[in-house]
Structure 1
Amino acid sequence: MTHTEFKEPKIGSTSWSQWVEENLVRAREIYEEATKNLSIITRKSILKANKESKFFISHLTLVDFICGLASLAVIGFASLFLLSGLSLIGYQVFLWMQSGIWSEFPIVVAFNFLFENTLPAQWLSNPESWIGLQKVVEWLMENIPLSVALIIPSIVTIGGMVCISGLAMAFRFYQFKKEDKN
């Protein structure tokens, strides 16, 4: 391993305040140059993106719009579940701030409300077969909060649909570009 000596730069007869002032002037010049260049790059990028988006939208077909609307519908529906989960947490926080006691809302509360006197509810209360599965399902429904059961799947669904839609749009864009070259 080699050892390199570090030599401190010699400031000379200039005082510390003069050295700082000179470097601040240089820093200001660099900043002004960078902002000028970034504004030019940003302007060119926006113009290019506008041109490419007009090209892309003009080549879309009815099937593309239908698939896009279906994707937006799935994202919107999942967003409703996300909003309801966040609202439930907000309601729990409100009740907690009022009384100082955290109100639990496990999945079983919604299950009992929605599936009262149905076959799944009867199986869950009095199973004749698959007793081990019933115990697992019952434990999960009593221990997983309803807000978590609403929020996590909706985030996964929204993220998945955004990724799939982005990939589909990128594929179609390059497909249109390839057709345009031919």
Structure 2
Amino acid sequence: MFTLTKMSRERAGGADTVVYIVRHAEKITGENAGRDPALTDAGQNRALVLAEILRSKNISHVYSSNYTRTRNTAAPTAKNAGVPVIIYDPRDLSALAMRIKQQAGRYLVVGHSNTIRETVQALGATITDLPVTEKSEYDRLYRVTLSQDGQTTMGLSRYGLRYVPDVESEPQ
């Protein structure tokens, strides 16, 4: 498998592979949300902000789980890049990681609060921050770089409206 990964990267011109990983943007919640909710207005705006941030990154592949909220988060970036949104199974992240490792490029992967950490780890990176535990936290943008020399690194930034955790005030 390492030889195949190395050869694929060499065929692509020896470039590092960069994978941007995000949780889907803000979704509709409540009684009327249904089983597969769409994005809220804030979520649609966040998806557009993400597309603008990634516009200059030469995205070559966009992956999304098969939910409305993830597909709608991925769609503006895919449109800017002129590539389709490819559906992956969030229950089989090792298969997704294998596909990514076999073809050098610039990727966006849109997932869920309970799959982001595992996606980063499946790509071989060490994740040191706390997992997403807040239902309202949508602003993490992970960047995993798979270098030609076999090293994998991970960085974390924030995008769009900043997440501010709810802090209970102390009794007076």
Give the TM interval when normalised to the shorter protein: under 0.3
**TM-score, normalised on structure 1?**
0.20
Which has more strand, going by share of residues? 2
Which has more helix, going by share of residues? 1
Of structures 1 and 2, the larger Rg is shown by 1
